[in-house]
Amino acid sequence: MFPEEDSLMNISRWRSVIYTVDDTNAPTHTPKNKGREALPYLQYLVDHYDDLPDVVVFLHSHRDGVIAGWHIDTMDYSNVDSVRALQKEFVQQAGFVNLRCQLSPGCPSAIQPFRQPPNPESPGEAHYAAAWKQLFPGEPVPREIAAPCCSQFAVSREQILQRPRTDYQRMYDWVMDNDLPDEATSNIMEYSWHIVFGKDPVL
């Protein structure tokens, strides 16, 4: 999702790219339903790498609601309100901005790849170190990853372009081809997006 004009006050001025994950006959779709939001996010980056807007906002399919959108930090749990309030200039300055900004839960130390035994409430933790070597080859596995949850964020074009398209393709291939459950794959990516887009493991 991204703005066609400089003003972010009118939601109708944002153009959307919606990937359908469970219908390969849809005009814009992923090859299969894998990794929850991770696969469509990465497919967007691969598909549109040469045609990026100034700011890209990655959102889940639900619009609002206390159950579906429990993790949206607005009074009405509304993604529309989140996008309306977004400051494009701040996103371009910061490069990456998570749409969760409340102090609770803040940036918990959600994944510790070397913790023994792994945290049973974190489906990706036991697999994170191995996944890291595929996602970020040659980089040392961090001992701690801390960031807000829930994989809704904004990122600038300049920040996306700090990585070559081949990096996003490699991550896409990992999501497509790994044998992990979807909840583990999405959890690993959930706590990797900020790293993908230039932030330290502890945000």
- Interatomic CA distance for residues 203 and 191, integer angstroms: 10
Neighbour-count burial of 165, counting CB atoms closer than 10 A to its CB (0-12 exposed, 13-18 middle, 19+ buried): middle
pLDDT of 5 reads 39
Asked if pLDDT for residue 39 goes beyond 70, the answer is: yes
pTM (predicted TM-score): 0.85
**Amino acid symbol at 63:** R
- Interatomic CA distance for residues 138 and 49, integer angstroms: 24
Task: Write the CB contacts of 49 (distance below 8 Å, at least 6 apart in sequence).
Answer: 160, 161, 165, 168
Mean pLDDT, residues 60-70 taken together? 53
Mean pLDDT, residues 110-130 taken together? 94
Average pLDDT across the chain, whole number: 84
What number of helices (H) and strands (E) belong to the chain?
A: 8, 7
pLDDT of 159 reads 98
Which H helix or E strand runs over 98? strand 96-98
Mean pLDDT, residues 50-68 taken together? 75
Asked if pLDDT for residue 50 goes beyond 60, the answer is: yes
Helices 125-135, 165-177: inter-axial angle, 10-degree rounding: 140
pLDDT of 101 reads 66
Helices 182-190, 38-47: inter-axial angle, 10-degree rounding: 60
Neighbour-count burial of 137, counting CB atoms closer than 10 A to its CB (0-12 exposed, 13-18 middle, 19+ buried): exposed
Nearest of 105, 91, 117 to residue 190 by alpha carbon = 105
